[in-house]
Amino acid sequence: MSWKDREYERLYYGTYKRLAWHREHWALEFRHEHYPHVSQVNPTLVAYTSSPKKGEKDIQTPMKPGRYLTKYHGHVLSQGIIQYWCGRHAEENGEVELKFATTPDEIEAVYINGPHSCMAHDADGFSSPGHPTRVYGAGDLGIAYGTRRNKIVARTVCWPARKIYSVIYGDKNAITPALERAGFSREYSSAFQGARLLRIPYENGFVCPYLDCGSSVTDGGEYLTIGGDLVAQETDGLTRGAFGTPCDRCEEPHDEESLTYLESEEQTWCNNCIHRYMTRCRYCAEYHRDTEFREVTWGGRSRYVCAGCAEENFTACSVCGRFHDDDCAHCADCSPCAECLPKPEDEEVPIGLEGGTIDDPSQEEMPIAA
C-alpha cells in the first residue's frame, strides 16, 4: 500500500478527524496532496504530510491552523476568512477538561446534557422509575466526560479505581488523549465484570441502563453486579429475565434473538462478539474474520470481500495480484499497477466494512450475489 492510500484510508475511515473546512471548494487543492487533518497528538493543531519522503516514513507535520491556512490557502482566502476558520477549528477541537461524575445526580445530568445515545433522554422517556443511568452511582463505576467551553462533548463509563473506560460517545479524538494522560486505558466488557450497580427493584426486574460495559447483571442482594443471568441490553431502563443460551465466543448467556450461527466458525456468537471480532463480506453477506478479506476493484471502487468471493468472482491481476471485476479497463495489461486502484473522488467516501474494527455509518447497501 502506498503512503497516499494509507493516508486516504485513515482520513475517510475516521482514523483521522476531518478539518472544519474539509468540504470547502478551496480545500481541494491540497486535500489529496498531503491529507490534512486534526492532529491526533494536539487537537488544537492541524497535521499533514508535508512531502512524499515524510509520507513514506509516516511522519505528519503539526501546524497552527492560522499558519497552515495562510501558507497553503492565503492566496485565495482573506485574513477575515482565515480567522473565521481558525475560530471554527478551536470551537470543534479545543482542549477539553476531563471531569468525573460519580453520584447518581451527577451521572444523570451528564447523560441528559451530553452526547446523543439511547440513554441520553430525560427520565420520563424510560419505563423505569427515575433515570436508569443513576444505578452507575454505586461506588465502583463513574462517568468520565470532557467539557469544552462548558459544553459536554464526550463521555464514557469508567472504573476509576482500575483506571479503565468503555465505549466513548461524542468527540472521541478530544477525550481520548485526556483519559490517557490521566492513566486510563480502553477495555472491553470482561474487564468490568463484578462492578457494582445500585439495586432498584421494579415490577419483575430491576432498573438498569443499556450497558456499554457488559450485557448482563446478577442480583447480589445488596447490589447488582455486572455479569450474570439478567439481560442488561434494553433501552427502556429495565432488566429482562434470564438469558437462555451462552455465546460460544464470550461465554455470556444471551436470548435467542441476540445470537447468530456463523458457518465460518461453526459456532453461535452473540451480536456484540460478531461486531467486535468479525466483518461481513459485501458480496456474500457472510461473516468472516478480518484476516480473511481481500481488496477488490468492484464497479470502479475499492471494496473488501472475503477471500472465497474474491477468488471465485473476481480476476486477479498477474502483475500486482489485485482483484478486479470484468469492468476493469486495466486487466488486460495492468500496467502501471497503480492504475488498478480507483482514484478518490471529491466527496466520495469509500464503503467500509460492516462490523469488525471499521465502523462507517455512511455505508450504502450493495447487491448480494445470487
pTM assigned to the model: 0.53
Q: 47-78, pLDDT tens digit by residue?
A: 999 999 999 999 999 999 999 999 999 999 99
Q: 164-223, pLDDT tens digit by residue?
A: 999 999 988 778 888 999 999 999 888 999 999 999 999 888 999 999 999 899 999 999
Is the sign of the CA dihedral 111, 113, 119, 124 positive or negative? Answer: positive
Confirm if 88 and 20 have CB atoms less than 8 A apart.
yes
Residue 328's pLDDT is 56
Per cent of the chain over pLDDT 90 is: 46
> Prior bond to 336 cis, omega within 30?
yes
Using pLDDT thresholds of 50, 70 and 90, give the confidence band for residue 95.
confident
Mean pLDDT of 129-147: 96
Give the start-to-end residue ranges of the domains of the chain.
3-93, 97-242, 295-355
Of 278 and 242, more confident: 278
Per cent of the chain over pLDDT 70 is: 85
Mean pLDDT of 20-28: 91
Using pLDDT thresholds of 50, 70 and 90, give the confidence band for residue 42.
confident
For Cα atoms 264, 269, 270, give the angle at the middle one, nearest 5 degrees: 145
Least confident of 118-132, 162-176, 299-313: 299-313
* Cα Rg, the chain, nearest whole Å: 24
Using pLDDT thresholds of 50, 70 and 90, give the confidence band for residue 45.
very high
Question: Rounded distance, CA 70 to CA 132, Å?
Answer: 50
Q: Backbone phi, then psi, for 247, in 5-degree steps?
A: -75, 135
Average pLDDT of the chain is 83
How distant, in Å, are the alpha carbons of 34, 39, 106, 157 from that of 177? 24, 11, 23, 16
Q: Backbone dihedral region of 300: left (phi > 0), alpha (psi from -120 to 50 degrees) or beta?
A: left
Residue 145's pLDDT is 97
